[in-house]
Each structure stands twice: as C-alpha cells, then as structure tokens.
Amino acid sequence: MPSTQHLNDLTIQVRRDILRMVHKVNSGHPGGSLGCTEFLVALYNVIMTRKEGFNMDGIGEDLFFLSNGHISPAFYSVLARAGYFPVEELNTFRLIDSRLQGHPTTHEGLPGVRIASGSLGQGMSVALGAAQAKKLNNDHHIIYSLHGDGELQEGQNWEAIMYASAKNVDNIIATIDLNGQQIDGSTDTVLPMGSIKEKFEAFGWIVFEIEEGNNLVAILNGMSEAKSKTGQGKPVCVLLKTVMGHGVDFMMHTHAWHGKAPNDEQLAIGLSQNPETLGDY
C-alpha cells in the first residue's frame, strides 16, 4: 500500500492536472472533479485490486465505472498516474484527435475506460451488468461505480437500484458523490430529493455514509467497511459527502464551477494552493 504521504502528494498533483487541463481548453468540469479527487486516488491506488495493463473484459480484477462522466479531468488524471496511459497525454484533453474526449469513451480506445458516459443516469445499469457477468464467470472481484447526486434525478437509476436488490447483486459498491450541487444550483433548490439514504435502504441496499469525503483516511476506512459488506446478498451503496471544488478555496461550496474553467489569474491562485508534488505533465 502506498504511504499516506504519497497519496496526499498524488491528490495534490491530480488537482493541479485538473486545473491545468480545463484551463488550457477553457472548458470542462473542475468542480465535481476536484470534489472526487481523494475518492478516485484512494480507489485506484489502494482500494481496487487491479491487474497490470488494460483488458476490456477485466477478468480477475476489480472494475470501476464512472457514471457522471463530466468529471473526466479527475478520471483521466488518476488513470494516467496509475499507469494506464502516459501522463503527457493529459495535454490533449478535449483537443481534436485526442483519446481524452470531453466525456470518457471507449471509442478512441483509451486504456482504463470501459464504457462511454456523459449522458447521465446510465452507469448504474452498466455496472450491474458487469457485476452479473463477474458472477457468471465465477470471478469474485468487486464492481465499483461513481454517480453524481443530481444524477439520481434520472429515472433509469431507480430501475437499476430496484433491480440490484431484487437480483441480489452483492458484488457492487455504488458510490454517490453527495456534493449537493448541480448545474442550476444546489440539489435542494433544483429538485429536492429527500433522504437518498432512506431511498436506497427502502430499495434494499446496504448504505454507508462517509462524512468526510475529501479525507483520504476517512475514505479508506469507509470503503473498507463497505467492502466487508459485499457478498452478503445485498448491493452496497456509499454516500460520499464531498465539497465541490475542494482544494481551491474560491471554487468550494458553490455550483458556479460545475462546468466553468478558471482564467489565467484564477489558475495561478488555484495552483498556488496546490503546490507541485510529483511533477506536472
């Protein structure tokens, strides 16, 4: 397991990557990306059992599906720094002829990506299908997935959530990024969803809450506990309470940076709050 220092360094470096990627093309989604940085770093560097290289079928390893595809900057940075493709390629984010499309896709053959996402609400179904394929293959590894909280407004999620417990899909840990924000404002102003915890529980899921979703230790402990509940006949959900824009003070606690890139001055401030650790791409 990597040291806590290394994970911290990696987290800061991923933040820098996110800011520089969206700044360069003046587009992309920094807010949710920054909010999920610790989670994705922990997932790919500690939590998941992964094989070297990339094979689409992913037999004999844990798999991850990103449903809220707009946080592609964080996903790409973590994938690159986990060795799936050269970190220099982060330079091509959202550029013509790039494998790093605005939203993740398998279409250009980017290693580490197993499904296209961006049109919201589809990842839960895909993750469950992959989980059932693992069961058919007698492969005792876990499927992880990440979804936005606003994304739960898409009805397909609830078809999938109902299905998961009905079919005892107990080799999945679906994490909800509970940052309380979406494009038009807070989730409570756009479309209040009530208690997401109670909803998942009513649909027969085991639910864990990670109160400090931007704290690496809290994430590792919470996910470890969640993993201990897999294989018991029920799907597992983690409600990860994060702060959108975490780590860049002026981007925090607001939906304003959901899909907006920093200008030169804002980039400089953001980078100064996250000094280079492992080396910029």
Partner 1 sequence: MKTYTYTEKKDTRSGFGAGLAELGKTNKNVVALCADLIGSLKMDKFIEENPERFFQVGIAEANMMGLAAGLTIGGKIPFTGTFANFSTGRVYDQIRQSIAYSGKNVKICASHAGLTLGEDGATHQILEDMGLMKMLPGMTVINTCDYNQTKAATIAIAGHEGPVYLRFGRPAVPVFTPADQKFEIGKAVKLTEGKDVTIVATGHLVWEALEASKVLFERGISAEVINIHTIKPLDEKAILESVSKTGCIVTAEEHNIIGGLGESVARVLSLHKPTPQEFVGTNDTFGESGTPAQLMEKYGLNSVSIVSKAETVVKRK
HEC letters along 41-68: HHHHHHHCCCCCCCCCCCCCCCEEEECC
Least gap, CB of 216 to partner 1 (angstroms): 28
- CB nearer to partner 1: give 107 or 280: 107
Least gap, CB of 103 to partner 1 (angstroms): 9
Q: What's the gap between Cα 96 and its chain centre?
A: 25
DSSP helix/strand/coil, 252: coil
- CB nearer to partner 1: give 121 or 262: 121
- CB nearer to partner 1: give 10 or 131: 131
Least gap, CB of 162 to partner 1 (angstroms): 7
Rounded Cα distance between 273 and 268, Å, is: 9
Torsion of CA 76, 119, 60, 137, to 10 degrees: -170
Q: Within the chain, where are the H helices? A: 4-25, 30-35, 37-42, 72-81, 123-136, 156-166, 187-190, 196-202, 216-228, 264-272
Pick from 95, 55, 49: which is nearest to 76 by CA? 95
Least gap, CB of 254 to partner 1 (angstroms): 29
Q: Which long-range contacts (CB under 8 A, 24 or more apart) does 3-10 make?
A: 4/216, 4/217, 7/41, 7/42, 7/45, 7/46, 7/216, 8/216, 8/277, 9/277, 9/278, 10/41, 10/45, 10/81, 10/277, 10/278
- CB nearer to partner 1: give 122 or 187: 122
- CB nearer to partner 1: give 118 or 185: 118
Could you tell me which residues come within 8 angstroms of residue 5 by beta carbon, excluding any fewer than 6 positions away? none
- CB nearer to partner 1: give 33 or 125: 125
- CB nearer to partner 1: give 38 or 151: 151
Least gap, CB of 281 to partner 1 (angstroms): 27
Least gap, CB of 225 to partner 1 (angstroms): 25
Least gap, CB of 274 to partner 1 (angstroms): 33
CB 246 within 8 A of CB 14: no
- CB nearer to partner 1: give 159 or 201: 159
Pick from 207, 205, 200, 191: which is nearest to 240 by CA? 207
Q: Which residues of this chain interact with partner 1, rule CB under 8 A?
A: 56-59, 63, 65, 105-107, 114-119, 122-134, 136-137, 139, 155-156, 159-160, 162-163, 166-167
Least gap, CB of 188 to partner 1 (angstroms): 26
